[in-house]
Chain A
Amino acid sequence: MDYELLKLIWWVLIGVLLVGFAVTDGFDMGVGALLRLLAKTDSERRVLLNTVGPHWDGNQVWLITAAGAIFAAWPVVYSVAFSGLYWAFLLVLFAMFFRPVGFEYRSKMTDPRWRSAWDWGLTIGGAVPALVFGVAFGNMFLGVPFSLDEFMRSAYSGSFWQLLNPFGLLCGVISLLMLSMHGAAYLQMRTAGELRQRARRAGFLLAVAVAVCFALAGIWVSYLPGYVIQSAGDVGAAMTPLMKTVSLRDGGWLANYQTFTWMIAAPVIGFAGLLLVAVASLLNRSALAFVGSSFAVAGVICTAGFSLFPFLLPSSLIPDQSLTIWDVTSSALTLNIMFWVAMIFVPIILSYTLWGYYKMWGRLTTDFIEDNQYSTY
């Protein structure tokens, strides 16, 4: 396959992995974020935890694999983004520390203080990564202050606090509300009685809130200066981010929707999904709410990715050095090998993951938890 096509394919593949992460791990993070809000008693909280109990660990591998795939396919992004956004990534990391231990250790002791402490941990482990990922996405639209020298050593001249600007925070809120909504949609399918009613109400309210914020962000973006490539260089050859010129234009981030009109499908699917969540939650159609929620999550993430295309991480310091899908990739050989590895393994992963869900499917009740208190989370 030619190099240019491979670069494009890898943009799609990393997108698939990120959407895979948000659609799977997204709902268990959402359940974490909602843990203290939806469930009042200890048994209710255990119901919530056990709906995702057998699955959260496998789901989390989507994130780990997406990060690994970025390392392998976009080493420059891995290098610049992880080191530049040092504290943002460490914040995600430390928040995620609470998850494996929170799930595993929480119900191993009966002391209410012990359990309450881990519940806070699981809430942080669900909410903080969701928030920070959104903030990071928001800052991609604004550009972050990094530069590269001729040896490709990167330096970042901003601070962590700079990321917490109004637009970044709005995107963070969208991400947090969206994954919480996804969690509420999942819980509608896996809980019964009062818990399920609460999950329906949460699903409806969150869907409306996400729709409002998402629309607001869309309007905001149309006023933001967008990055546009002036001279791209030879995108079919080996490139570094030092080989092109870039300019800024107001509303430039929406230009893609005129050039590639099909991209409009992403925000449309996003809004349609949100509508479906709201309606299905009201009508008590839980499976439909989850389908809508999955589409909403995918639509919102794709909207961000499509708007930025072909940029990945613009540099506000030296726009010419912005990272794009053409100049951050691995060699053609590595992209090719990794493409085939992904083609073989992603379907296998999907099939055994689905088998796992199929085997563990069903609504969980507080009675079940009380009958199995020594063998559940």
Chain B
Amino acid sequence: MISEHLVDMSRLQFAITAFYHFLFVPLTLGLSFILAIMESVYVMTGKQVYQDMVKFWGKLFGINFALGVTTGLTMEFQFGTNWAYYSHYVGDIFGAPLAIEGLMAFFLESTFIGLFFFGWDRLSRIQHLMVTWLVAIGSNMSALWILIANGWMQNPVGAEFNFDTMRMEMMSFTEVIFNPVAQVKFVHTVSAGYVTGAMFVLAISAYFMLKKRDLPFARRSFAIASSFGLASILSVIVLGDESGYEIGDVQKVKLAAIEAEWETQEAPAAFTLIGLPDQEAMETDYAVRIPAVLGLIATRSVSEEVKGLKDLMAEHEKRIRNGMLAYALLTQIKAGDRSEDTIAAFREKVDDLGFGLLLKKYTDNPANATEEQIAQATKNSIPRVAPMFFTFRIMVGLGFLMLILIGLSFYYSAKGTAERQKYLLRALIIALPAPWIACEMGWFVAEFGRQPWSIGEILPTHLSVSTRSVEDLYMSLAAFIGFYSLLLVVEMYLMIRFARLGPSALHTGRYHWEQPENQTQPAQAH
């Protein structure tokens, strides 16, 4: 049997490298559009300050982008190095969007990013503007295909099991692309990226305003970021609600775990605002509930009920028992029994094969699992509730906090008095980590909430790992942590240095630190 220690280490390595990668992705998604907007204004108005804005924010974009590229490669390699059985089992479907991402999006983004940085003197204004837009479109299309792949892990549509090849195979590519989970995930995720970009520009511009440096530059950056940010934060929240509806439809376990809904309530279900979920007792202590709200979010009706975890687990137990039969029939087919009856019986039960495979964690032969093993598998057929419950609430809380901050920024920017709002400007700087924390929490909810599955109801996570030793994992994880920490220190150092320097980093002679009376700046950064 597969060592649980190996599974835990492989999960930890994937989680750490994925969280780390997503420190850089949302800023790329958002800032690339902000750059494109700034450059459009430059081309339309011809005002130099807008070109300087593109170049300065572009410098910070580049510092961030480099680590996005670096850490993205890890994600691709890791499916093969650490999740080999997963790659075999679902590569037929999952590999396609990844390859298309390369062909359709990543080539576009990566080819034009070089022209964005170095093409200013080689391209006409219109050509350069087009290049900048293509970088933004490329990076966002890249997110689309990655989220189609991820959406399929959550809601694996358009595929069937093939016992000849022992894997899932694609039946309908259009179903995979138009997977409703993928669609809502995409819009929610890229909007979160736009908010990150906006918060980034707002906070650094706020810093310039507080220091009273390069005010015309800061003011214009602030105005663009606050209007872009307001549209984005509104769409994150609205589209987040849309994902609530979507997972209420197809990922009932995840929804119930987020809400710590142990019992199926009478419709319309109440929403648990806060409380302390207790996994063993299967209840939530000190719960504060708002009547009817959950029912409205999840079903958009007052009459449909939202299933609780206890009822979902009872369903899982039935499917596990059915899955044991599916597994027995599969073994029979593998042993050479290709009679029509056997195959027909297997086809009938194949949808529960994944539930049978859940037992592989406890026994080599799920067909003969004991009652105790079935009970264990059932108990672990839902994710741990407390982490889901709290991370989700942190994400939503930060979302509303940013709504307030960005809303105020927009209001004062429109009034033309933003630079005088000392408290708001300070709050924007302090709140700079908020979009990153919210994004990471969102991914935690999405992926931890998928457990115990790597492919929802098809392939359990513990079966998905590569056959490697635990020692291999300790060494590679240590190497990742060491290397990544070092890179993060370097990145933060450069980012802070250049952000502080402001547009003077462009060496145009037009900005604060280049004026004779201000040249007290320590060693110059380039």
A86 sits at the interface (CB 8 A):
yes
Q: Are B119 and A72 in contact (CB under 8 A)?
A: no
B278 sits at the interface (CB 8 A):
no
Nearest A residue (CB) for B114: A54
Q: Are A82 and B162 in contact (CB under 8 A)?
A: no
Q: Are B467 and A67 in contact (CB under 8 A)?
A: no
Known: A97-B70, A374-B507. A86 touches B92 (CB 8 A): no
Within 8 A of B (CB), among A44-79: 50, 53-58, 60-61, 64-65, 67-69, 71-73, 75-76, 78-79
- How many residues in A have their beta carbons less than 8 Å from beta carbons of B? 73
A235 sits at the interface (CB 8 A):
no
Q: Are A75 and B526 in contact (CB under 8 A)?
A: no
Known: A72-B96, A86-B468, A359-B115. A67 touches B76 (CB 8 A): yes
A249 sits at the interface (CB 8 A):
no
Chief secondary structure at chain A's binding surface:
helix
B41 sits at the interface (CB 8 A):
no
Known: A57-B113, A334-B170, A353-B111. A79 touches B88 (CB 8 A): yes
> Considering the chains assembled together, what is the distance between the CA atoms of A90 and B164 in angstroms?
32
Nearest A residue (CB) for B469: A86
Q: Are A100 and B91 in contact (CB under 8 A)?
A: no
Q: In the complex, how many angstroms separate the beta carbon of B12 from the nearest chain A beta carbon?
A: 16
A8 sits at the interface (CB 8 A):
no
Within 8 A of A (CB), among B43-101: 62-63, 65-67, 69-70, 73-74, 76-77, 79-82, 84-85, 87-89, 91-96, 98-101
Q: Are A75 and B95 in contact (CB under 8 A)?
A: yes
Q: Are A68 and B99 in contact (CB under 8 A)?
A: yes
Select the stretch in B102-110, B199-207, B216-224, B446-454 that faces chain A.
B102-110
A3 sits at the interface (CB 8 A):
no
> Considering the chains assembled together, what is the distance between the CA atoms of A54 and B135 in angstroms?
13
Partner of B118, one of A54, A151, A154, A331: A54
A-B contacts, CB under 8 A, total: 255
> Considering the chains assembled together, what is the distance between the CA atoms of A156 and B162 in angstroms?
25
Per-residue contact bits, chain B 462-481, to A (CB 8 Å; 1 contact, 0 not):
00001110001000100100
B171 sits at the interface (CB 8 A):
yes
Q: Are B98 and A71 in contact (CB under 8 A)?
A: yes
Nearest B residue (CB) for A332: B169
Q: Are B110 and A58 in contact (CB under 8 A)?
A: yes
Partner of B117, one of A54, A67, A238: A54
Nearest A residue (CB) for B127: A359
Residue from the set B118, B506, B523 with the largest chain A CB neighbour count within 10 Å: B118
Contacts of A61 in B (CB 8 A): 102, 106-107, 110-111
Partner of A345, one of B62, B103, B113: B103
Add 5 more A-B contacts to A103-B66, A334-B92 (CB < 8 A). A64-B106, A65-B99, A69-B102, A97-B73, A341-B104
8 A–B contacts from the bound complex (CB under 8 Å) = A50-B118, A72-B95, A154-B84, A154-B466, A330-B170, A338-B99, A346-B103, A359-B115
Q: Which 5 A-B pairs have the closest CB atoms?
A: A75-B91, A82-B80, A54-B114, A72-B95, A65-B102
